[in-house]
Amino acid sequence: MSDSSPKLSFGSLLRRPETGSFLGLAAVFLFFTIFGGSNFASLNGAASWLNVAASLGIIAIPIGLLMIAGELDISIGSMVPAGSMTCAIISGHFGLPIAVGVVAALCLGALVGLVNGLLVVRTAVPSFIVTLGTLFAVAGLTLGLSVLITGTTSVSIKAGPEAKFLLGHFIGGIYQVTILWWIAAAIFWGFVLHYSPYGNWILAMGGDKVSARNAGIPTERVTIFLFMCSSMSAAFVGLSQAILYNSAQVSAGQSYIFNAIISVVVGGVLLTGGYGSVVGIVLGTLTFAIVNQGIYYTPFDANWASLIIGVLLLVAVLMNNTFRKMALSYTPSRKVK
Amino acid sequence: MPTPLLTLQGINKSFGPIDVLHDINLEVYPGEVLCLLGDNGAGKSTLIRLLSGVHKPTSGTITLAGKPAAFASPRDASNAGIATVHQFGGTFPLMSIGRSFFVGEEPKKGWGPFKTFDRKTANDIAVKAVRDLGITRITDGDRLVGGLSGGERQALAIARAVHFGASVLILDEPTAALGVKEAAHVLRIVLQARQKGIAVIFITHNVVHALTVGDHFAVLIKGAKAADFRKGEKTREEITDLMAGGEQMAELEAEIKSYMSNHPG
């Protein structure tokens, strides 16, 4: 840490939730650059982890905001395949215009998010349980309806050039266009959380929901809105993958649940809510993707990747805790011990 | 005698079959501190919740500034000028001072959908409001609330209530979790709020603190008002006994004394 920097900026650096995750990303990047060699750092290498990070990142940001607001949504694991199957069945199986499939998938996402949000707000059942329920319910619905309508669990879809250009092509042949959507999502959510007044609401809700409500924040509406956004983001990733790969499968999303949570937590978001940043989530997602993909560039067996991710998660949580404690005890007049 | 700002008349509250408050009558005057005393479970918290809009009375009327008041929500009550500060003050430990000060009332700049939270204004106002209450250690509005001491958090919460124009300030055991020095700070701030003409309702079971700042005292026992008196009308011992439910306190002390003398060491 740079003790030479002015005291005030050191304090504000400590208070940033992403400080820890930035150090983590730097360490992981360095590790794989050393062991992965030039292939990892090459444009192709970067594409391999950026592509993974992009679709994960689009989901991880709204999940992170939900966690900052004190909730959790694991139903995204089913929303990704549900989104891609909806789009594929409507536009592929029935041959309707691709825009109809896209809109339908997003509407389904909004609907599932609305159900999640309403259940959480009205029943006061922990959102983990509610979305665990909808995770299975949506998975069952997707499988059942797909087989009922198409007779298979995999549907092909032919997208027109415009849809391909917007959602499913490779920039320069290697970078998925979803990377741009991810950047757009990060800018949008970054604005919402850190610059718009609504960001204050989300932070306050995660800090103390009762006080936030007493202060006049429409906590129920914000909660429902955030659930709708996370489900819609998952549906979006699903439909963009269907368009990218020209097909959709019913079971292709469960890994997003834990990967998104890991990215968010590595990114410095407090599991119990009230603290976190969009930049941190983006850095956490990158860290996860680098470990996940970077292992293939090293001489190590890829089976070790999960071990690294597990250790990384624990180290990240401990480091973020330390930074948070330092931020809490830090005052400009006193030196940090 | 000025007219009371807040009047409770024949307030009853029951939760299902359980009566929590019976026939409470109280008057709160602007620029005065009403100390609400009572043991745990006496109904103090329920009374606060009625005033702050969390619950509605089963029967009876609340009058605020001459008009009958029925609060549908805490938001309603705070719009009417009733601010409640809870034991731990600012409850958003991981938010900055400026942000937590303006939760729900964020200052904005810019236009249209691009209106942004005005961090600088928020920080400046929050820091000034706290410093006006004599907490000069706070200079940086970006500091996290969780890094403040208990007394500073109370000060922040009271400053917030004063800033947003509260006419009635309810303090729920503000000194209970504080050390001696910090408690003294908070008591001084209570007197400052009183000087501004705010009607303060100070809930405590610390009789010394109550006597330090109170103008007017009400003791609750098992949901009923057991005593209502003004400053100087009762001694500390009398109040302690009242709170504990009559003579029991003296008896208890005597019992302990005899126990101690019979069991040396």
Contact across the interface for B104 and A327, Cβ inside 8 Å: no
Domain ranges, residue A50 = 20-323
- Phi and psi at A109, nearest 5°, equal -60, -45
Instruction: Give yes or no for residue A237 having a pLDDT over 70.
Output: yes
Token digits of residue A137: 């319910």
What does the pLDDT look like over B122-174, one tens digit per residue?
A: 999 999 998 888 888 888 888 888 888 888 888 888 888 888 888 899 998 88
Q: From the CA of B216, how many Å to the nearest CA of chain A? A: 28
Q: Which of B103, B117, B139 sits opposite A215 (nearest CB)?
A: B103
CA atoms within 13 Å, Cβ hemisphere of B126:
31
Q: Could you report the predicted ipTM of this complex, rounded to two decimals?
A: 0.78
CB-CB neighbors (< 8 A) of A11 in chain B: 140, 142-143
Number of H helices, E strands in chain A: 14, 4
Q: Which of A8, A215, A330 sits opposite B104 (nearest CB)?
A: A215
Q: From the CA of A11, how many Å to the nearest CA of chain B? A: 9
Q: From the CA of A208, how many Å to the nearest CA of chain B? A: 6
A215 and chain B: CB distance < 8 Å anywhere?
Answer: yes
CB-CB neighbors (< 8 A) of B117 in chain A: 195-197, 199-200
Task: Give domain limits for chain B.
Answer: 6-234
Token digits of residue A182: 């991810």
What does the pLDDT look like over A88-147, one tens digit per residue?
A: 999 989 989 999 999 999 999 999 999 999 999 999 899 999 999 999 999 999 999 999
Q: Which of A204, A329, A333 sits opposite B92 (nearest CB)?
A: A204
Among B48, B88, B94, the strongest candidate for a mutation testing the A interface, having the largest count of A CBs within 10 A, is B94
How many independent structural domains does chain A possess?
1
Give the Cα-Cα-Cα angle A287, A293, A299 (nearest 5 degrees).
115
Contact across the interface for A331 and B143, Cβ inside 8 Å: yes
Q: From the CA of A335, how many Å to the nearest CA of chain B? A: 14
With CA atoms as reference, the chain A residue closest to B54 would be: A214
Q: By C-alpha distance, which of A286, A232, A239 is closest to A259?
A: A286
CB-CB neighbors (< 8 A) of B52 in chain A: 214
Q: What is the pLDDT of residue A111?
A: 97
Token digits of residue A131: 């979305």
Q: How far apart are CA A170 and CA A179, in angstroms?
A: 10
Mean pLDDT over B22-27 rounds to 88
Residues whose CB falls within 8 Å of the CB of residue B211, separated by 6 or more in sequence, listed in order? B231, B236, B239
Least confident stretch, A30-34, A114-118, A178-182, B240-244: B240-244
Q: From the CA of B138, how many Å to the nearest CA of chain A? A: 9
- A 272-331 near B (Cβ less than 8 A): 274-275, 324, 327-331
Instruction: Give yes or no for residue B224 having a pLDDT over 70.
Output: yes
What does the pLDDT look like over A265-317, one tens digit per residue?
A: 999 998 888 899 999 999 999 999 998 888 888 888 888 888 888 888 888 88
Tell me the average pLDDT of chain B: 84
With CA atoms as reference, the chain B residue closest to A275 would be: B94
A330 in a domain, yes or no? no
Contact across the interface for B105 and A12, Cβ inside 8 Å: no
What does the pLDDT look like over B44-57, one tens digit per residue?
A: 888 888 888 888 88
Q: What are the DSSP calls for B60-94, one per residue?
A: EEEEETTEEE--SSHHHHHHTTEEEE-TTS---TT
Secondary element (H or E) of residue B194: helix B180-195
Max mean pLDDT among A124-138, A196-210, B91-105 falls in: A124-138
Contact across the interface for B103 and A332, Cβ inside 8 Å: no
Instruction: Give yes or no for residue B220 having a pLDDT over 50.
Output: yes
Contact across the interface for B102 and A212, Cβ inside 8 Å: no
What is the β-pairing status of strands B59-64 and B67-69? antiparallel
Q: How far apart are CA B226 and CA B220, in angstroms?
A: 6
- Give the residues across from B171 on adjacent strands: B85, B202
Q: How far apart are CA A71 and CA A74, in angstroms?
A: 10
- B 69-88 near A (Cβ less than 8 A): 74-75, 78, 84, 86
A190 and chain B: CB distance < 8 Å anywhere?
Answer: no
At the top level of CATH, which class does the domain B6-234 belong to?
alpha beta
CB-CB neighbors (< 8 A) of A275 in chain B: 94
Q: Which of A8, A207, A216 sits opposite B91 (nearest CB)?
A: A207
Which amino acid, one-letter code, is at A246?
A: N
Q: What is the pLDDT of residue A263?
A: 94
B204 and chain A: CB distance < 8 Å anywhere?
Answer: no
Q: How far apart are CA A268 and CA A281, in angstroms?
A: 7
A313 in a domain, yes or no? yes
Q: From the CA of B246, how many Å to the nearest CA of chain A? A: 37
B52 and chain A: CB distance < 8 Å anywhere?
Answer: yes
Token digits of residue A153: 């669990």
Contact across the interface for A208 and B105, Cβ inside 8 Å: no
CATH of the domain at A155: 1.10.3470
Q: From the CA of B117, how many Å to the nearest CA of chain A? A: 5
B154 and chain A: CB distance < 8 Å anywhere?
Answer: no
